[in-house]
A and B are shown apart, each in its own frame.
Chain A
């Protein structure tokens, strides 16, 4: 019953992508739209039917390639919804030079992502996972900037290279448990023994690289800057996060019996991801790079939650995954709308656009508040769950573990505060402050883009206010139930309605104070010692945190980071090239030396007998 639907979710987008190679642009959009609609419908049917074909699937294990459980259903529905919303944005605005290729890659990416999520067979997972990584590379190559080829190279070396480890990990698992017939849902390994630990590490590398977790995150900011903005919203902001965290969630729930030490390692990795990325985001002058670093930072929370071993934090991690995909794609699309109108995504070039682009700026504001964890938006609730989960875990842990967990927790909260600080700068630089004259003629984004960002912003509000009723109850708690986790009893401290009332009261009080103490405001020009208020004296907001940048020892760390000294890819590249140089020194082109190689080699062969 379910199989044809699952296959349709993979084949329909792939067929649409293939046909779009030959179709003109209008037909491409129609076909892609129809296909996305169909996928959305199928996902809705699967969701409403509660179809869980794994246990009831009659196909013998070696023949079962695709299946669906609650975790994949959650990810699948999120992917279809996001693909559809982002598609609305792409209907008008994609760079005409790349539009044709874009609408080939877009449905193909959806097909490969669906294939990854639905794969129950390890080999099928490897293939679809690799293909989705390839799409990342191809999307990046569509970028028009001079840095696009370099960022595409970096992205694919990290993401495509990590596929080799995914393969290794899955093969280690598949071979050591032949009875499972390569079926993922029949595999469960203790984290003991070299092969099992190696398999876990390999899969973790793949998951972290895809999601953009430390230390394999360094492809995300350059990709965010160089790729078409629609592709950035679609892939690293949404789909790749979902795939990476989906794999991590599967690893800790069904593939491996994870120990406390591994939980602590994952929580630590998550914390480092949160802090390092948000610190980098603070000092960025490019809007897309800033959002790219925040995309990384938010993954840290997901890794902390999903990898913590606490059911509440696990649920929070998955919820944060969904929330992040919503507000992060909204933020990228918002900036995309601004960029398409102004021709720049450099924060120094922007400013004062809020009045000219009210819907876009409102969407940007809501998304920024959401990512900063301000109640009652969705980002607050998921972070809250993660914090609560970690506190619960600390309560039951040994003293050293508890102290470590609390340190991580404090850093995560601090990261959230820094996120807010960073987005104040972002909002000021883009929508507030004095507008450069060159942007005086800017108008609001096209209606399709406004609808797209508005829907995403609305979801930020709805998933904050009705977090328990919609995303948690319908999608996330069933995952916990399916994996035998105790469904958390919610601490009574947070009630969305109560928070809303209190915030409304606070705003009403502030309004009252304002009205009662209102004075006539005098507007005047900025006084600059008698000089004209030239463009160069405009405060763009990018220098808000220059003090942090210049503070010792942070200055040293920032200097090193900007020289890529902490970039794992650059470190490995340097090591590889040094080794390559050493080997090349042994190949100077002297025939006599090469003849010596041959004779020595032959002697070794003759002597080993």
Chain B
């Protein structure tokens, strides 16, 4: 009975905000933060107190294949915690950040719709329902990217909407083909029936889904929307987009569909390996030449998604563990980096690294937390990125693919080079900055500090005792499709 709350709470709060907020944003802030906090508490409770247990909720009491089911297993549990954590911190960050733009409730209403969409995608067990929630999340995201109201933001949102619409159409065709072949939209039901069908159906639909969901995940060659959208959006929305949105309708759905529904066919796993490696290297090469701080971060998102795909493509327990762990870590450090970029933009009014300077005295919290995030993404111990990349390299070598491990190591080196550039020009430049345009609010500082601490603490997720609760069950879910079918279909 707990599962519908993950959709109902943000959806209700979005409408309540629109109804009662009025001209000021105070009620909107209060309502959205209360809703996000309750979602975080609920998601942590479900993950910690009911670990390993799969929860099923049949909407309206209709059993599949007639009705829609909501499913909570270890993978959804982890994803819900991640979405709730980043959402809450982004809302806290937004309190003072968005007030630099306006004091409207609309931002918070759209934000809650974004959460609704993502939570819906995560917990639904129905493919078409997933599509609907994905569209809710994406439409909110289009609007939020354009929220600043400047020409470049409208252009980025337009490009995002056009490319997003094309990919959604591709996905819809895939769902239609799948439905015509299996007569069901429940993912577990499709997984049950699909092995009896002509394998070509799976391969064709897989191709369509790879392109469609690959675009949501910003995998090369479907990545071109991301740099514009992520760099133009308000910083907390960039954090949401890069931290969780590319992962929920992107990586999460790819994991769920290709591993639990299609049963991890070798051809698709090989394709993931190729796409992952290409994304790691081309993404980082694109990033290293950037001078716009948010654009640099955006290209790194493509590269880091490549690491996750690499782990998925290995399809070994350790590879999946590395992929899931890196997914979590990337959400943490990349959101923090976008907060840092937002804070610098508020303080200096620029995203151009060449126009920044020495900010260590005037923005100590931003400088310090950006250093932590930079070290994390670069894979420097003892921060979280080190451990997830290490696991991925071990997994690649164990799988007999030292070349891929070498690519991951080279990608890591170039990431380090790129973030050393960011640190040098962005925070320790030659020009001593003595005054700022606007101060960094407490909410922004709190969000940055919390995520910086998370960069360190989430390293412990792989420690024995914690790993068994948080990560191992996720690996089991992804490696054993029959369990997913059994839990949802009850047979």
A26 close to chain B: CB less than 8 A: no
Interface residues in B417-472 (C-beta closer than 8 Å to A): 417, 420-421, 423-424, 428-430
Contacts A168-B405, A194-B402; A149 near B424 (Cβ below 8 A):
yes
Task: Indicate if the CB atoms of B394 and A171 lie closer than 8 Å.
Answer: yes
Asked if A550 is at the interface of the complex by the 8 Å CB criterion, the answer is: no
Contacts of A198 in B (CB 8 A): 402, 406
A580, B417: Cβ atoms under 8 Å? no
B378 at the interface (CB under 8 A from A): yes
B140: shortest Cβ distance to chain A, in Å? 21
Let me know if B416 and A131 touch, CB within 8 A.
Answer: no
A175 engages B397 (CB within 8 Å) = yes
Q: How far is the CB of B442 from chain A (nearest CB, A)?
A: 23
Complex contact B207–A602 (CB within 8 A): yes
- Range of interface residues on chain A? 35 or more
Q: Is the CB of A161 within 8 A of B413?
A: yes
Question: Within the complex, what minimum Cβ distance (angstroms) separates B146 from chain A?
Answer: 15
The reply to whether the CB of A407 lies closer than 8 angstroms to some CB of chain B is: no
Chain B: minimal CB distance from A292 (Å): 20
A590-602 to B contact mask, C-beta < 8 Å, 1/0:
0101110110111
* Residue from the list A165, A174, A580, A601 in contact with B214, Cβ < 8 A: A601
Task: Check if A123 is an interface residue, CB within 8 A of chain B.
Answer: yes
Residues of A within 8 A of B424 (CB): 149-150, 152-153
Q: Is B224 an interface residue (CB 8 A)?
A: yes
Which among A81-89, A253-261, A571-579 touches the partner chain?
A: A571-579
Contacts across chains A and B counted by CB atoms under 8 Å? 146
**Which residues of chain A are within 8 angstroms of B416 by Cβ–Cβ distance?**
156-157, 160-161, 164
B20 within 8 A of partner (CB): no
Q: B479 interface residue, CB < 8 Å from A?
A: no
Query: A141 in the interface, Cβ–Cβ < 8 Å?
Result: yes
A605 touches B207 (CB 8 A): yes
Q: Is the CB of A141 within 8 A of B398?
A: no
Q: Which residue of A lies closest to B212 (CB)?
A: A602
Distance in angstroms between the alpha carbons of A587 and B412 in the assembled complex: 23
Asked if residues B288 and A577 are in contact (CB atoms below 8 Å), the reply is yes
Q: Does B375 belong to the interface (CB within 8 Å)?
A: yes
Is B167's CB under 8 angstroms from A594's CB? no
* Chain B residue at smallest Cβ distance from A581: B289
Beta-carbon contacts of A140-161 to B below 8 Å, as 1s and 0s? Answer: 0100001001101100110011
How many angstroms between the C-alpha atoms of A327 and B271 in the bound complex?
A: 56
Given contacts A167-B390, A172-B397, contact A580 B382 (CB under 8 A): no
B203 at interface, CB cutoff 8 A: yes
Return the contact of B225 from the options A126, A195, A580, A594 (Cβ within 8 A).
A594
Complex: A131 Cα to B382 Cα, angstroms: 7
Distance in Å from the Cβ of A190 to the closest Cβ of chain B?
17
Docked pose: A141 CA to B360 CA in angstroms: 11
Q: Is the CB of A584 within 8 A of B390?
A: no
Whether, in the assembled complex, A514 has its beta carbon less than 8 Å from a beta carbon of chain B, the answer is no
Q: Are A606 and B397 in contact (CB under 8 A)?
A: no
A609: chain B residues within 8 A (beta carbon): 200, 203-204, 207, 267
- Are B224 and A576 touching (Cβ within 8 A)? no
The answer to the question of A107 belonging to the interface, with a C-beta cut-off of 8 Å to chain B, is no
Q: Verify A605–B211 contact, CB threshold 8 A.
A: yes
B222 CB–A CB distance under 8 Å: yes
Query: Does A111 lie at the interface of the complex (its beta carbon under 8 Å from any beta carbon of B)?
Result: no
Tell me, in angstroms, the Cα distance from A129 to B282 when the chains sit together.
Answer: 29
Q: Which of B37-45, B108-116, B158-166 contacts A (4 or more CB under 8 A)?
A: B158-166
Which chain A residues (400-454) contact chain B, with CB distance < 8 Å? none
- The answer to whether residues A160 and B394 also contact, given A149-B429, A601-B214, A601-B221 and a CB cut-off of 8 A, is no
Q: Is B91 an interface residue (CB 8 A)?
A: no
Given A149-B424, A150-B424: A598 touches B394 (CB 8 Å cut-off): no
A15 within 8 Å of B by Cβ?
Answer: no
Contact B428 A149 (CB under 8 A): yes
What separation, in Å, do the CA atoms of A126 and B380 have in the docked complex?
10
- Say if the beta carbon of B381 comes within 8 Å of chain A: yes
The residue of chain A having its C-beta at the shortest distance from the C-beta of B214 within the complex is: A601
A598, B420: Cβ atoms closer than 8 Å: no
Question: Known contacts being A130-B381, A595-B163, A605-B211, is A175 close to B398, with CB within 8 Å?
Answer: yes
State which of A127, A153, A580, A591 has its C-beta within 8 Å of the C-beta of B162: A591
Given A127-B381, A141-B428, A591-B159, also A601-B289 (CB < 8 A): no
Asked if A529 is at the interface (CB within 8 A of a chain B CB), the reply is: no
| A55 close to B (CB within 8 Å) | no
B368: shortest Cβ distance to chain A, in Å?
A: 12
B375: nearest chain-A partner, CB-CB: A134
> C-beta contact mask, B225-251 vs A, less than 8 Å → 1, else 0?
101100000000000000000000000
Docked pose: A589 CA to B204 CA in angstroms: 30
From known contacts A127-B382, A583-B282, A594-B159, infer whether A167 and B170 are also in contact, taking CB-CB under 8 Å: no
Tell me which residues across on chain B come within 8 A of A174, comparing CB atoms. 394
How many Å lie between the Cα of A195 and that of B379 in the bound state?
A: 23
Nearest to A601 among chain B residues (CB) is B221
Q: Does B27 contact A (CB under 8 A)?
A: no
Shortest B111–chain A CB gap in Å is 27
Chain A residue nearest to B411 in the complex (CB): A164
A1, CB-defined interface residue at 8 Å:
no
Q: Please indicate the chain A residues that have their CB under 8 angstroms from the CB of B380 in the complex.
A: 130, 133-134, 160, 163
A-B contact pairs, 29 of them (CB 8 A): A126-B381, A130-B386, A133-B380, A146-B430, A150-B424, A153-B420, A161-B413, A164-B412, A164-B416, A165-B409, A167-B390, A167-B393, A172-B402, A174-B394, A576-B417, A579-B285, A584-B286, A591-B158, A594-B159, A595-B162, A595-B163, A597-B221, A598-B166, A598-B167, A598-B211, A598-B221, A601-B222, A605-B207, A606-B207
Given A149-B424, A171-B394, list of 11 further CB < 8 A pairs?
A131-B381, A157-B417, A165-B413, A175-B398, A198-B402, A579-B285, A580-B289, A587-B224, A587-B227, A597-B224, A609-B203
